[in-house]
Structure 1
C-alpha cells in the first residue's frame, strides 16, 4: 500500500501577494483565465453529457497518495465513459505546492485538476480555484451522485471550503486521520495482570485517558519483553511532530488560535493572536514532554512512516498514527492490531485530520474546466471510492456517507476483511464527529507556522528549552508570521 502521507517537510509556498501581483499584471483581478496558454477542450454539443469532451487530455497533479495510486492503476473506466485521457503527475506535497503556485502565477494552466491540500494549496490560493457549484448547477453536465450532501460534512468543510460557507472549491478526496493503534493480542494476553497492576481496565475505550495511555506504555516498558517499548511517536523535527503534538494540545484544551474549530473547518485570512501561551497549551506541552520521555527513543527520528514501520516490526505496543496504515498493519500482523479513538485529556479527545480535496484550476480555459468536472465527479463517485477501498495498489478511505452504508463495506469492518482499512472505520468515524476531529488552522500562512511549531517542540523534547518557553517562543514567532502575511 502506498503511504497515506509521504514524508513532506513543509516549504513555504510562493506568496499569495506574488500570485495576485502576477494576476494584476494580466488584468484578471486575481484569476488568470485570460492568459491561459493551453488549448481549450474538444467539444461535441450533440454528444451525451459524459461524452461531450471526448478527445481531451487532462493533467492532474497530486500528492502520491493511496487514492491516486488506485485511480492511476485503473483509469480505463473513466476513459471508456468519457473519451477523456488523464495524465497524472505525483509529487511530494511541498514540491506540488510550489508547482501549482508557479502555474497560477504564470497563467500557463498546465494542471486542470489539482490536489488542493487545505493548508499549503487551498488556503493560500483559493481565488485561483473554481466554485464547483457552477458545474453541479449546470443541467448540461452530470451531477454528483448524492450531491454535495453525501460527503461527510466535516470533510466537505475542511477539505473543500475556504472562508465562505457556501462556496465549494474542492471535493473531499482522501481523509487520513490519527487514531490509537495497538497490539490487541498483547492487550488481551495481559489484560488481567495489567488491570491488577494499573488499577484500571487497559482495554482502549471511550473512557481511556492520556494519563492511562502513559501508564500502559510504562507497564509495557517495565513488565514484558514482548516489545521493546510501550509507545512510539512520529516526533521527528518535521510536519509529523506538529501532527502528533497537536492531538495532546487539543485534548488539554489548548489551541493555536481563538475559535479554533471554525478556523480549522472553514479557515480565515486573519486568525488573530496565537494562543500557545495559554495555561492549557503549556499543560499539553508538559504532558507531551513526559510522554515522549518514556517512549521509544527512536520516536525523535520517526515521521509517520517510521513509527508505522516500528509498530509493524513488533518494536512498540501502540502508537497514534494515521488510520490508513491499517492495510499495511494487517499485511504484517494479521489479526493482531486494534484501533480506537485517541485517548481523552482534561478537555476532550482529538485526532488530527489530514484529508485533502481535488479542485479545478481557474487558470485553464472554460471547456477544460467542464471536462475536469467530469473527472472530479467520477474520481469521487461512490463506485470509484468503493473500487479504491478494495484496490491492491491503493486502499484510500471513502469520504462519502453512502459508501459506509454499503453492505460490502460494513462487512469489511470485521475480520476477515478484503478492505483492511475498514478495520479502523469505527474509530475514525467517531473521530470525524465535530466534537473530536482535530483540525489544524486553515490559514494562508500555515506552512511557516507549522515549521515554527515543530521546531520549538523538537527543541523542547531535546531538553533545550522548557515547555512554557517553547510555547511562548512559538506564539511570538507565529504572531509575527500572521501579522506580516495577514489576508483580509
Structure 2
C-alpha cells in the first residue's frame, strides 16, 4: 500500500524562548542545571524480578514527535510494543516549530512531561544537548535490552548528524528518519526523448553520477523549448521558507561554498562556536549566481512552493524533473506508477551534494531515572530492524530505514525494483549514494541555526525577486548570520 506524501522534518523555525528565560528555568545552563529540575513527574515502578523487557510494565511514556510518516507508522503499529513490555505510549505529533517550543518550555519548567523526544538536530538537539541522556549508559547496562547490532548498525552519517553534538563519544539520539534530497525525473520522458536530446545537447541526458549542474540546466532548457509533454523542464522549492534554504544549499555545496569553515565537522558533530560565516566567498557567490540563473528558467510557480508544493507540481505533470526529498517516492508511484526515476543530484565544480534532513529520537534527562530506562525500551524497539521493515510497508506511512542491516534483508532489497510493496525503496540507490561522506549535505548543527536559516532564505528570496545581486545577497546573509552567531542564542 502506498503511503501518503510525508512531511520531511523541516518547517520555518519559530522564535524559541530566550536563552536567558531558559537559564532562569534551569533548562539550558548545562547538565547540572537541567538535572536539578528533575522530579516534575512520578518515577516508573520497577518490577525487579521481571525480565528485561517487562521490568517497567504498567508505565506510561509520553513521546512528542513531528508529524512525520515514520511516526504515523509507529502510532499504527504500537500494539506489539505494548504487548512486549506492558508499557503504554502516548504519542503527541506536532508541526516542527511547535514541537521545538513545547520541548523548550518542558525543559525550562523542569516538569519532564515528555520522556521521549523527536530531537531535530538543529532546533532541538543542538540548543538543548545537555537535556538529553547519553544513550551509551543504557546500551551498556546488563539489566536492559541492548540494541540489535549496536550503534554500529546505524548508517554512520546518520548516527553522527542526528545522534551527536560536539562530543564524538556521546550518543544523544538514535537515528529515526532520514529524508534526503535527490534528483527526481520523468524517466518515461527521458527514455522517449533520449536520442533527440543527446543529438541536440551533445551529451547523454540520462541522469548519472557524471551529470553536472550545467547539464541539468541544459536539459531543463531543452524541455522548456523542444517538447510539449511538460510546460517546464525543472521545478524547485524556492518559497521564502526553510525549503528555499534546503534547495539553495545543494548548489552552495556543489560549487564549494559553505556556511562556516570546516563545514563538514560543523554539520556532522556540531558546535556552539562556528566562527565567521563564509557566504562571502567566491565559491558561495558562484553557487548563488548559478542558482539564480537556474530559477529563471524553472517553473515560475517555484517561488511559491515548499517541498509539498514542488512535489504536487511534479506529480501533476508540470515539469520534467526537480530536486526533492526522496520519501516522495511513494506519492510519485501512486500518481505516476513506473514513470519516475531517481538519481544523486548533479555535481558542480566541487562535488555533488544532497541535503540530509534526518532526525533522531532521544531520552529526556529531565525525567526521573527509571522513566529514562523505560524510555530506552521504546527507543530500542522503535528503531529496531524489524520495526523499520514494518514501517516501510505500513499503510499508515513509514520512513526509510536508518540501519544498514535492513537494506540487506531480502524483502527490502527486492523492493528496490518494481513492482514494489515499499515504494520509498525505489529511491534507495540514489539515497544511499548521497549518504556517502563525499556527497552528503549537512547544514550547520549549531544552537542558533533557526535564526541563521531565516536570515539565509530571506536574502536568497530577495535575490530571486531581483532585489539583490547574488554577491549582495550572500554578503547580507553573512552579515546577519555573523551578528546572530556573535551574540549566541539569547533570544
- TM-score of the two chains, using structure 1 as the length reference: 0.98
The answer (yes or no) to whether the contact 1:33–1:362 under 8 Å persists in 2 is no
Aligned to 1:348: 351
Q: 1:26 to 1:182 in 2, by over 3 A?
A: closer
The answer (yes or no) to whether the contact 2:127–2:448 under 8 Å persists in 1 is yes
1:71 to 71, 74, 98: 74
Moved more, 208-217 or 15-24: 15-24
The answer (yes or no) to whether the contact 1:256–1:275 under 8 Å persists in 2 is yes
Q: Distance in 1 between matches of 2:167 and 2:20?
A: 20
The answer (yes or no) to whether the contact 2:18–2:489 under 8 Å persists in 1 is no
Aligned ranges 1:288-367 → 2 under 5 Å: 288-367=291-370
Counterpart check, 1:184 vs 2:187: yes
Aligned to 1:195: 198
Aligned to 1:399: 402
Aligned ranges 1:450-461 → 2 under 5 Å: 450-461=453-464
Counterpart check, 1:62 vs 2:65: yes
Counterpart check, 1:209 vs 2:212: yes
Q: 1:484 to 1:470 in 2, by over 3 A?
A: same
1:236 to 228, 235, 239: 239
Aligned to 2:175: 172
Aligned to 1:110: 113
Q: Distance in 2 between matches of 1:27 and 1:338?
A: 47
Give the secondary-structure state (helix, strand or coil) at the position aligned to 2:401.
coil
The answer (yes or no) to whether the contact 1:230–1:318 under 8 Å persists in 2 is yes
Q: Distance in 1 between matches of 2:152 and 2:402?
A: 11
Structure 1, unmatched stretches of 5+, are none
The answer (yes or no) to whether the contact 2:115–2:363 under 8 Å persists in 1 is yes
- TM-score of the two chains, using structure 2 as the length reference: 0.97
Counterpart check, 1:130 vs 2:130: no
How much has 1:406 moved relative to structure 2? 0.5
Q: How many residues align?
A: 487
Q: Distance in 1 between matches of 2:432 and 2:30?
A: 46
Aligned to 1:89: 92
Q: Distance in 2 between matches of 1:370 and 1:27?
A: 21
Moved more, 314-323 or 9-18: 9-18
Q: Distance in 2 between matches of 1:6 and 1:363?
A: 24
Aligned to 1:142: 145
Q: Distance in 2 between matches of 1:341 and 1:351?
A: 7
The RMSD of aligned alpha carbons is 1.4
Counterpart check, 1:257 vs 2:260: yes
Q: Distance in 1 between matches of 2:36 and 2:392?
A: 36
How much has 1:11 moved relative to structure 2? 1.4
Structure 2, unmatched stretches of 5+, are none
